[in-house]
Structure 1
Amino acid sequence: MPRGIRRSIPSSPCTESAPHPRRSEAVVADLDWLSLAALALIAVLFVGLFLLRRAGAKFTLLTVIALVVGIGVGLLFQGHLDYVDVIGTIYVNVITAVVAPLIIVSVLSSVTSLGSLAKLRTIGLSSVFWLLATNLIAILLTLGLALATGIGKGANLELAGVDGSALTGLLAPLDEVIVGLFPNNVVGDISSNNIIAIILFTLLIAVSYLIVADKNAEKVRPFKEFVDATRRVLFKAVGFIIALTPYAVLALVAVTTSTAVARIETALALVGVLVIALVACFVDAYLVNGVLLRVFADLNPLRFFRLLTPAQYTAFTTQSSIGTLPLTISTLTRKIGVSDEVAGFTAPIGTTIGMPGCAGIWPTLVAVFTVNALGIEYTVLDYVVLVVLGLLVSLGTAGVPGTAIVTATAVLTAVGLPIEVLVLLIPISAIAGTASTMANVTAAATSAAIVARRAGALDDEIFAGRAVHRDDLDDPDLPETITSHSPELAASR
């Protein structure tokens, strides 16, 4: 062989690809061994959860165990959970990815199943009313707590040098906000999870179906069958994702605990605001909603909250009402007994209207804290305006992490209070955000249950555990002797 050709042949692939010894040492040195140890422990705990599930442990019990163990892992590996955080982030991304398709299919299926525009108006108006009512109660509750405790008095806030311009940039002009509510690019709205735009577009299609079906149902029956079939397939896919919730809760709680501990020194300086925020969120979620459930839905609040526990824990750890939506809808229909029509309509709207934690409790508390801390004279009329603005801000609120900062910025700006205060409160807003998101999801579920009860669309047999949802009848793990007194379930067999 000619010498020139011999020179062009690599001597050895292994020799050329072998890393430099010092480079390898640098890579090893850069590894966070505690983070790797935390990841290894999480893997072992995942196996434990899997074995418990195989042994017959219930989903709620697994979620509670994951929550408790996650707190322990967060305390043990504080500041070394970067690799574990990846697991939680992946789960949130995956479950968020199905939100837009889920809303489209749920709203389409719900509205097309109603059969008339009159029923749509009834459920639609009732849903909006109760979602706003829960927010109004939360605002009044927070206002009472804040005024009674005098939160902020004597705080001696020093705003000199605090830059709030970044928060101002979060607010869009009113005309842009209104225009943004209406879809101009459906694909773009879906990719950005623009919930109101998605719902409005879907309602346009659904209402068009009702109008055409009213004249000639046979012509659009294939569309209805396609929607129902798509819904079943999508909910099956969502079920696979929801089954991973205990594992995600374990990872997310560990990271959340680690972050909260790291911020505890800063939070202690504003502990009064944080405590009132947490108290208001839990009182609103359990006491206020408990009364509403008993009075207006005739449901046992304790059983309701027990059934809703996995969704509440997911909301608490992800700080995303939108990310929790698939689990919320599934719980409402399969555990609580809310009809598909109501759950598929009210729950999605509840991720953008109402939102008592993010759009009611936090903005109101921050406003009163600011007024007291700066010694501003506020009249009864000023507080009435504050309440009204809190309701208005809750229209179109996005159920994603960080929403509370945006809503609080909007409220403070509207009433003329300095938004620089929010910069000082950012360290505790993330901690308070866990409870406020849980309050959001609980209020949306409560509203759905009330709407369903008043519309005669709540199955007490499912709520009592004596019957199963029609989609669960195909589950091979269910015993064949399951009985149901629900006409809808009986017909589906």
Structure 2
Amino acid sequence: MKKKLSLTKKIFLAMFLGAVFGILVQRIGSDFIKDTIILNGFVKVLSNIFLSSIKMMVVPLVFVSLTCGAASADNIRKLGRVGVKTFIFYISTTCIAITIGVILSLTIKPGIGLDMSHLLVTEPTISQNNSFIDVLVNIIPTNPIASLVNGDMLQIIFFSILLGIAISLVGKKAEIVKNAFESLNEVIMKIVQIVMSFAPIGVFALMTNTFATMGFNAMIPLIKYMFVILFSLLIHSVFVYGGMFKLFTRLSIKPFLKKFIKPASIVFSTASSNAALPVTLETVNEMGVDNSISSFTIPLGCTINMDGTAIMQGVAAIFISQVYNVDLGLPAILTIILTATLASIGTAGVPGVGMVMLSMVLQSVGLPIEGIGLILGIDRILDMCRSTVNTMGDCICTIIISKSENSFDTSKYYSSEVNTDILADDILETTDC
């Protein structure tokens, strides 16, 4: 039986075909055929349907997934000191990660040279008058229902986290509410998967429009965008993770890197930190971490530690603002950092969720969601790298917490024994995220 193409391969193929078709469309002499029939006809219809489908998922996904993420705080409460330290580590490194991405984007300016502002149907609504203090004050919604209807992302995030924490504090009496949200979360994730199964069609239409309008000029900014993300991931891995590891553990990094290859190979090949969860747990235990620590920190990290994803969201937001010639003030930039950091609490390892969460970040500061079409194709490549960084952060945090709790076996850490028994079937059955 003929093997079906994976979604990743379909998106790559759609990206290539869209670019080729766009170049061919650019050479068509008849404006009626090129503009009326192709670009403003079926290409516009397909791209708008796809983008509207993504927009459709933003509010329900953010509200439900963040509520579920915050509701899991009962585990953090039960573990007390360990839970608090783990939560602080994950949130602080995520904030640092997106800040690195934003600073590099503002410095390197990957989107300069590709002006697509003339393609916007409506002008972006970037508020330059509100200070960051106003942004913080306005986070608290006066009417949560109205916030959901209007798509006020920071207010939705605040209310979702507050609701989730309240559910966890009530405990058993709110178990039915928690179960309802978790079931609803599963349903919404399935809808996201259905929507993303049509991503190749949307990518084809969006790439056709981009290359028909800009030609090969679109390539250089995209390459610069990829470079900024990869460079940000490298800086975060070496200096933030490496620095914190050395500062808090006083251990040599070499044994860690040697043993981390095992989960990293799975995460990189599947672009999913969830896919490597069993192997990651096994690996940190081989490094000397007590199972009572790792069984909490690693699964929690797969849920809320999304440093690589946060870097992508920060870089992508700045890139899109530059491409569409939108000037972001300091309050808007700080809002991007705050939104992406808070959103990491509920970002799940499901295909397409990263792009939906990016659209949420864009909406929070009024940037055009159409910009997602530029980066969706190449995002599948970058996803492998950032997922690996996410898992590295989980492992680094776990070792630091274990060391601080005096439940770390140093002799085991420096041992050269590495269990390489990984079930191939487990790897092959995983999906991209």
Q: Same fold (TM over 0.5)?
A: yes
Opposite residue 275 of structure 1, the aligned amino acid is: F
Out of 295, 304, 308, the position equivalent to 1:344 is 295
Per the alignment, residue 80 of structure 2 pairs with 121
Q: Is the 8 A contact 1:355 1:394 kept in 2?
A: yes
Per the alignment, residue 147 of structure 1 pairs with 106
Per the alignment, residue 357 of structure 1 pairs with 308
Name the stretch that deviates more: 148-157 or 118-127.
Answer: 118-127
Per the alignment, residue 430 of structure 2 pairs with none
Per the alignment, residue 417 of structure 1 pairs with 367
Out of 203, 219, 227, the position equivalent to 1:275 is 227
Q: Could you say what secondary structure the match of 1:376 adopts?
A: coil
Q: Is the 8 A contact 1:352 1:395 kept in 2?
A: yes
Equivalent residues in 2 for 1:361-376, closer than 5 Å: 361-376=311-326
Out of 433, 436, 459, the position equivalent to 2:386 is 436
Tell me: CA distance 1:172–1:432, structure 2 relative to 1, closer, same or farther (3 Å). Answer: farther
Opposite residue 297 of structure 1, the aligned amino acid is: T
- Stretches of structure 2 lacking an aligned partner (at least 5 in a row): 5-11, 18-71, 123-147, 168-174, 188-207, 209-215, 422-433
Per the alignment, residue 36 of structure 2 pairs with none
Per the alignment, residue 95 of structure 2 pairs with 136
2:411 is aligned with 1:461: yes
Q: Could you say what secondary structure the match of 2:303 adopts?
A: coil
Tell me: CA distance 1:140–1:337, structure 2 relative to 1, closer, same or farther (3 Å). Answer: same
Deviation at 1:380, TM superposition (A): 2.6
Per the alignment, residue 63 of structure 2 pairs with none
Per the alignment, residue 201 of structure 1 pairs with none
Distance in 1 of aligned mates of 2:322 and 2:350? 29
Deviation at 1:381, TM superposition (A): 3.0
Per the alignment, residue 206 of structure 1 pairs with none
Out of 131, 143, 160, the position equivalent to 2:119 is 160
2:385 is aligned with 1:426: no
Q: Could you say what secondary structure the match of 1:351 adopts?
A: helix
Opposite residue 429 of structure 1, the aligned amino acid is: D
Distance in 2 of aligned mates of 1:353 and 1:412? 20
Opposite residue 315 of structure 1, the aligned amino acid is: V
Per the alignment, residue 270 of structure 2 pairs with 318
Structure 1, residues 290-339: CA drift from partner, whole Å, max 9, x if none?
A: 11111112222232122111211211121112222111111111x21111
Q: Percent identity?
A: 24
Tell me: CA distance 1:423–1:276, structure 2 relative to 1, closer, same or farther (3 Å). Answer: same
Tell me: CA distance 1:347–1:159, structure 2 relative to 1, closer, same or farther (3 Å). Answer: farther
Q: Is the 8 A contact 1:274 1:432 kept in 2?
A: yes
Distance in 2 of aligned mates of 1:148 and 1:324? 35
Opposite residue 404 of structure 2, the aligned amino acid is: R
Tell me: CA distance 1:292–1:367, structure 2 relative to 1, closer, same or farther (3 Å). Answer: same
2:398 is aligned with 1:448: yes
Structure 1, residues 45-92: CA drift from partner, whole Å, max 9, x if none?
A: xxxxxxxxxxxxxxxxxxxxxxxxxxxxx9xxx99xxxxxxxxxxxxx
Q: Is the 8 A contact 1:351 1:397 kept in 2?
A: no
Equivalent residues in 2 for 1:1-400, closer than 5 Å: 120-157=79-116, 160=119, 174=156, 184=177, 186=179, 189=182, 270-333=222-285, 335-358=286-309, 360-400=310-350
Tell me: CA distance 1:118–1:437, structure 2 relative to 1, closer, same or farther (3 Å). Answer: closer
Distance in 1 of aligned mates of 2:410 and 2:292? 16
Tell me: CA distance 1:193–1:385, structure 2 relative to 1, closer, same or farther (3 Å). Answer: same
Opposite residue 132 of structure 1, the aligned amino acid is: I
Q: Is the 8 A contact 1:319 1:401 kept in 2?
A: no
Opposite residue 411 of structure 1, the aligned amino acid is: V
Q: Is the 8 A contact 2:115 2:325 kept in 1?
A: no
Distance in 2 of aligned mates of 1:407 and 1:290? 28
Deviation at 1:131, TM superposition (A): 0.6
Opposite residue 425 of structure 1, the aligned amino acid is: I
Tell me: CA distance 1:309–1:267, structure 2 relative to 1, closer, same or farther (3 Å). Answer: farther
Per the alignment, residue 46 of structure 1 pairs with none
Structure 1, residues 107-143: CA drift from partner, whole Å, max 9, x if none?
A: 9xxx8xxxxx998210010010001121122112112
Matched length: 289
Alignment root-mean-square deviation, CA: 3.9
Higher relative contact order (CA 8 A, sep 6+): 2
Q: Is the 8 A contact 1:282 1:435 kept in 2?
A: no
Tell me: CA distance 1:298–1:190, structure 2 relative to 1, closer, same or farther (3 Å). Answer: farther
Opposite residue 280 of structure 1, the aligned amino acid is: S
Tell me: CA distance 1:339–1:177, structure 2 relative to 1, closer, same or farther (3 Å). Answer: same
Q: Is the 8 A contact 1:402 1:430 kept in 2?
A: no
Normalising by structure 1, report the TM-score.
0.51
